[in-house]
Amino acid sequence: MRFLTILIYILVPLLFTACSSVKKMETGATEKPKMLWFDSEANFKRFSSKDSIRYYLDKAKATGFNEIVVDVRPVQGDVLYKSKILEPLTSFGDGYTYKRDWDYLQFFIDEARKRSLKITVSASIMPVGILHTKSGPAYRSSFWDDKIAIGNTPEGLKNMKETDYMGVFLNPNLASVRSLVKSYVDEIVSNYEFDSFALDYCRFADVRFDFSDSSRVAFEKYIGKSVEKFPEDIFSYNSKKERVPGKYYKEWWEFRAMTVRDIVHELRHTVKARKPNVNLTYWAASWINATYVNGQNWASKGSFDAAKSYPEWATDNYKNAGFADELDAFIVGAYLTDLYGLDNNESIEYALDRANKLIGKSTKVYGSLYGLSNKDTMEEAVYLTMQKSAGLMVFDIVQVIDFDLWADIKKGINRAEAEEKIGQ
């Protein structure tokens, strides 16, 4: 009897622990995020139908995804949610128009919940128009005119609408712009229930923008000096239209990176003040050595000492502009064709390894794949990403559909999760 009593005391706790572990696995609490991105521009016509949305959510669930990313504010600048600030998206200026009498975002949320899918809502932060179709807020209202970025081009200073860039971006250095972007982030977070908010295009457009007078003033304040020749003291162009660095060339990139870091910090506060449990995420390309032109130092603060490897553009202080510590997760765009090779900077494995090292314990790193880049190697790319990062994101569903990648993605997920269970 005494032996049986002792045995019960030993086995009962173990039984509850085992049941708890099984429950944890069954509910997906220990699963890594496996996200599928639903881009709004590429799928605008397809997702004009509720049945189509339902169908592809079913496909996503059956493939092994447990989370979707719903793009509700594309580069065009209009929105796919109920807004009192911005206008509803009805066309991309390509000839197709659809005016909804239903809430796109709320429908996605409701249907995703029915399938036990988590929701990340993505919004482009700085864009307000598409250049090639001349559509979006920037082309409809003079309200945006004094907020649009100015470019330093070989032909001189130009309004962004007069350049060849793909979209029209706002000037991140303006207080009015910072207030505006916070207002529409706050509106989304306040009015909808979802799991994560993803900052997309939360950056400067490219190396040419922004060279407005307001940015000059902000830069002078940052360095504590007057810039006598602007933009030449930043950079000019030679006869081959190549950039020629000026006296404040390196300080300019530091200033821009600090600007983006400040904006990410402000938007984190905006999100968390409304809903502390909503995660903040950010997507950026893995090639951090090139994203300085956009003001994107996505590393952990202090960890990416670019001055040692890239002294031609980085200051000693550039490393302190890292913003990974502001995020709940960073989605690194490993949009590369090569899969393996820690000594191959064009491989997915290298990209994920570098991101993990530069971010460390500051936040989680999710690997992001591009359908077109891996249309012939998707199973292995998914497996690799699941193995080497804290989560998976596949961009975009239109490529998964066009290249019929569903089965390959499912195989990659199943392989990775089977090995993970063996290792537990």
Mean pLDDT in residue range 216-245? 98
The tokens 């040419």 sit on which residue?
A: 208
Position 226 scores a pLDDT of 98
Residue 143 falls inside a structural domain: no
pLDDT one-digit tens code per residue, 265-315: 999 999 999 999 999 999 999 999 999 999 999 999 999 999 999 999 999
Q: Is the pLDDT of residue 424 over 90?
A: no
Q: Cβ contacts of residue 238 below 8 Å, gap of 6+?
A: 244
> What is the reported pLDDT for 28?
44
Q: What is the sign of the dihedral through the CA atoms of 136, 142, 143 and 146?
A: positive
Looking at residue 420, its pLDDT comes to 85
Q: Look at the chain and report how many structural domains it folds into.
A: 1
| Average pLDDT score, the chain | 93
Give the Cα separation of 297 and 269 in Å (integer).
19
Supply the pTM of this predicted model: 0.92
| 185-196 per-position pLDDT tens digit | 999 999 999 999
Q: Is residue 43 part of a domain?
A: yes
Residue whose structure tokens are 């605008």? 44
Task: Please report whether residue 86 resides in a domain.
Answer: yes
Domain with 267 in it? 33-125+169-203+251-423
Whether the CB-CB separation of 321 and 302 falls below 8 Å is answered with no
Burial of 22 (0-12, 13-18, 19+ CB in 10 A): exposed
| 77 domain-assigned | yes
- pLDDT (tens digit, 9 = 90+) per residue, 344-364? 999 999 999 999 999 999 999
For 144, the 3-state DSSP assignment is helix
Whether residue 140 lies inside any domain: the answer is no
Establish if 245 belongs to a structural domain: no
412 belongs to a structural domain? yes
DSSP state of 142: G
Distance CA 82, CA 421 (A): 42
**3-class state of residue 68 by DSSP:** strand
pLDDT above 50 (res 8): no
Alpha-carbon 364 to chain mean position: 13
In a domain, 48, yes or no: yes
CATH of the domain at 335: 3.20.20.80
State percent of the chain over pLDDT 90. Answer: 92
The pLDDT tens digits of the residues spanning 123-172 come to: 999 999 999 999 999 999 999 999 999 999 999 999 999 999 999 999 99
